[in-house]
Structure 1
Amino acid sequence: MTTMTAVRSSQGELRSTTPPSERGARADFRVVAKAVRDAGLLERRVGFYAWLMAGLGVALVGLLVGSVLLGDSWFQLLIAAGLGIVLTQIAFIAHEASHRQVLKSGPANDRLGRILAAGVVGISHQWWMTKHSRHHANPNQIGRDPDIEIDTISFLPSDAKKARGIQRWVTQRQGWLFFPLLTFEGANLHVRSIITLLERRPVVGRWLELGLIAGRFALLITFLLLVMPPLMALAFLGVQLAVFGIGMGASFAPNHKGMPTVSRDAKLDFFTKQVRTSRNIRGWGTSALMGGLNYQVEHHLFPNMARPHLRAASEIVRAHCREHGITYTETNMVGAYASVIRYLNRVGLAARDPFECPMLATRR
């Protein structure tokens, strides 16, 4: 049976084509998956997550106690930044639970994910699962991956061309504005979660999640108003949301943005689709900082793999790709963000005035 692989078009898209060898692209995943299973890398690491959650719990309590002790002091904004970092780390565990990486049973993972996402972080677990599952099935595929749909930022030239007014101004400069815009991403995640839960369609766990999110915000706001003046409480929330937004956006964006997109109707084998559209980020401490998302290639190939196994799996996948001449993208954090900014600026050029000098536009 003929298998399908892909080539990159001049527009940076992957399209279906017939592979030059008879090895078969589907064999890549079978070989790698067997090596991963034989190495025991699909086993759960419940102890790791138990210690991680305990540590984050201690950090969370410490921040709250520190806030009480500080009282009416603008040093509370440092506590707010710390809370944003801790909530980002908790969101990573909720993400891993949604992939069934943490506990041994599916229902237990779902319960944990819902409690952490909605009850602690304030984001709908069901909304995240639905959106993120679509992304994993079709990474960077035009019209199928929700993560490249237009939002404040345009990820495709065809979307950038549609920008008007202030949106157009932002789109033309979106690469340079990437990190400033991320400060609003935390609030955006909360708002989108609530809007999704209030939609007129069946939503699993709708009222439970709305109750958890409402209770979470009520407790947080009440706590802040008891500890500090209203204006300071508002600033506290602003800093916490900004740090949380940067933490989430800066961890997820470099994994696929700037990598090849997949044409809407392309038929690619699983291994090619996941490896060619993903970017790994190397460097000391990146796994802890990004919740294991720096091993994006392996996470997409084995989405239920526990975080501590991803590094060993990357060695297996990298070696296989090197042996068979398959593109495996890996860079450091600076290189990844530079690629994202260049890509967003390049896409943003599609929003320029048609009467603008093309040479000046390329130098912007």
Structure 2
Amino acid sequence: MQSVTMDSAVAPRGSEYAVLMRRVRQAGLLNRRLRFYAWRTALVAAALLGGWTVFVLLGDSWWQLAVAVFLGMVFPQFAFLGHDAGHRQIFATRRANHLYGAIAGNLAIGVSIGWWTSNHNRHHAHPNTEGEDPDIMGVLAHSSERARADRSFRRLIFRYQAWLFFPLLLLEGFSLHGASVRALLSWPLRHRAAEAALLLAHAVLYLGLVFLVLSPVKALVFIVVQQGVFGLYMGCTFAPNHKGMEILSAGDATDFLRRQVLTSRNVKGGPVTDAALGGLNYQIEHHLFPSMPRPNLRLARPLVQQFCAEQGVPYRETGLLDSYSDALRYLDTVSRAARGQ
């Protein structure tokens, strides 16, 4: 599957989105922020190397579960950097961004940047759109129609998906690795051989080190905990962004501005929230301007808020806990269709 680039949105000249784009460009918010990414990369790399150093020094001990939790929280930070590279937020050229993303994704955490970029850009092109957004075509139902119509094993999950949501996130890390391998085996990715080599290098280094230092039982428990925390963290980052927001039917003709804003939700917070969620708490701004560097998203927020108010477009922003509450209530509402209520 060929990757689709979402560096910039295409809109008719004179459209509402074009007006907003001009304001953003004039404010310099699409300019590169290499210094931010340099220190962010150094910080995250230091955390990863520090975690594995402590792992080696601790040896065959159950205290390694604390290291597993720590590394499970570091992996998503690499995923955020790979995500930004996939959107060409970091460097000016496709090659530089892909190389960075392959190191941050394939090598550091075992997730294919080629698969991620292709899959994720489909989501950006059709957010919350039935049959077109891969993020709402998985094990959870986001519409009552799908919940009622599905006759596969997923229907049982649909019936109780609000209760199963967080437990299922514990499997997300394994799902990301599996999807990466399947894509490298069957998708016509542009740099398949190089990505496969880096993914294999990650697997050999990760599994080799874990089983070299720990006994088999401790090693398996370490992997389950570390990958479980990784998946839970990733899922908790993505959950507030679109769940519970408007669902569009296939072929919906809503214009680009409204399609991105109406299907997205921002999460309020300060620098800690920004760092913890990798800037994805500014989901509306990110969807409107995918190539905008992460630190500029918070600066674009007031411009986008003002513009949406001028155009009468609802702009949804809530606290983190409220976003989870909204998402779970929505999933429960949909699940009632599967239960025949």
Q: 1:4 matched to which residue of 2? A: none
| 2:225 equivalent to 1:273 | no
Q: CA deviation at 1:156?
A: 2.4
Q: Percent identity?
A: 45
| 2:92 equivalent to 1:104 | yes
Distance in 1 between residues matched to 2:310 and 2:188, nearest whole Å: 48
Q: TM-score scaled by structure 2?
A: 0.92
Residues 70-114 of structure 1 deviation map (CA, whole Å, 9 limit, x = unaligned): 112111011011111111000100000000001122210111112
Which of 176, 179, 184 is equivalent to 1:197?
184
Which of 242, 245, 262 is equivalent to 2:248?
262
Residues 26-66 of structure 1 deviation map (CA, whole Å, 9 limit, x = unaligned): 63212221221111111100110110110111111111111
Which of 40, 59, 71 is equivalent to 1:52?
40
Q: Which amino acid aligns with 1:322?
A: A
Distance in 1 between residues matched to 2:206 and 2:252, nearest whole Å: 47
In structure 1, list runs of 5 or more residues that go unmatched.
Answer: 1-23, 359-364
C-alpha RMSD of the superposition: 1.7
Aligned length: 329
Which of 172, 178, 194 is equivalent to 1:208?
194
Q: CA deviation at 1:157?
A: 2.1
The 3-state SS of whatever aligns with 2:156 is helix
Q: 2:121 matched to which residue of 1? A: 133
- 1:26, 1:271 within 8 Å by CA — same for their partners in 2? no
Q: Which amino acid aligns with 1:71?
A: G
Q: CA deviation at 1:208?
A: 1.7
Distance in 1 between residues matched to 2:90 and 2:180, nearest whole Å: 23
Mapping 1:59-70, distance limit 5 Å: 59-70=47-58
| 2:211 equivalent to 1:235 | no
Residues 239-283 of structure 1 deviation map (CA, whole Å, 9 limit, x = unaligned): 111111011111112111110011212212111111111100011
Distance in 2 between residues matched to 1:26 and 1:177, nearest whole Å: 46
**Residues 161 and 68 from structure 1, CA distance in 2 versus in 1: closer, same or farther, beyond 3 angstroms?**
same
321-330 or 296-305, larger mean C-alpha shift = 321-330
Q: Which amino acid aligns with 1:242?
A: G
Q: 2:107 matched to which residue of 1? A: 119
Distance in 2 between residues matched to 1:133 and 1:166, nearest whole Å: 28
Distance in 2 between residues matched to 1:48 and 1:242, nearest whole Å: 29
Q: Which amino acid aligns with 1:195?
A: R
**Residues 48 and 112 from structure 1, CA distance in 2 versus in 1: closer, same or farther, beyond 3 angstroms?**
same
- 2:142, 2:247 within 8 Å by CA — same for their partners in 1? no
- Structure with a larger share of its residues in strand: 1
Q: 1:308 matched to which residue of 2? A: 295
- 2:246, 2:262 within 8 Å by CA — same for their partners in 1? yes
Q: TM-score scaled by structure 1?
A: 0.87
Q: 2:212 matched to which residue of 1? A: 226
Residues 152-205 of structure 1 deviation map (CA, whole Å, 9 limit, x = unaligned): 222222322245586433221111211111000110111111112112x52222
- 2:85, 2:101 within 8 Å by CA — same for their partners in 1? yes
The 3-state SS of whatever aligns with 2:290 is coil
Distance in 1 between residues matched to 2:139 and 2:256, nearest whole Å: 30
- 1:26, 1:269 within 8 Å by CA — same for their partners in 2? no
